[in-house]
Structure 1
Amino acid sequence: MSNCDFTTEANVQTLATEVACLKATLTLILKAIGQADAGKVMLNMERFVAQMEDEQQAEVFKNSLQQIKFAYRQ
């Protein structure tokens, strides 16, 4: 893992694609760990978002969380 190169291009489209990939990866991980544990993760994330001071960042997190929840339920 220490030899992997995780650099990202400074291109908005590439960043957006990588974020979408991470959301999909997280959704699949949540499905793999089981419903009870996935529910705990989601609740903890919702609590984390509720405590964020930056409202704009919190809204982005909230929207991402909603997308992940929707994908998880399918």
Structure 2
Amino acid sequence: MLSEETVNDIKKLISQYPYPRAAMLPALSLAQKEKGYIGDDVMVELANILNVPISSVKSVVYFYDLYRHRPG
């Protein structure tokens, strides 16, 4: 689970974009900054916050080398 502060930061990001999905990359960066990587639980949480399918979040996380999907 992401901290309340990070969730609020992501919601602020969403308000700066024309639609929530557009905030996915910066939201993923915030989540990774907090957790160190983006695990399945965080992907589900982000999908819910951004109102997108989990498959959309997973495809972005696995596509970009910038995002780590496991610890270490």
The answer to whether the superposition gives a TM-score over 0.5 is no
TM-score by length of 1: 0.37
Computing the radius of gyration from Cα coordinates, the structure with the larger value is 1
TM-score by length of 2: 0.37
Larger fraction in helix = 1
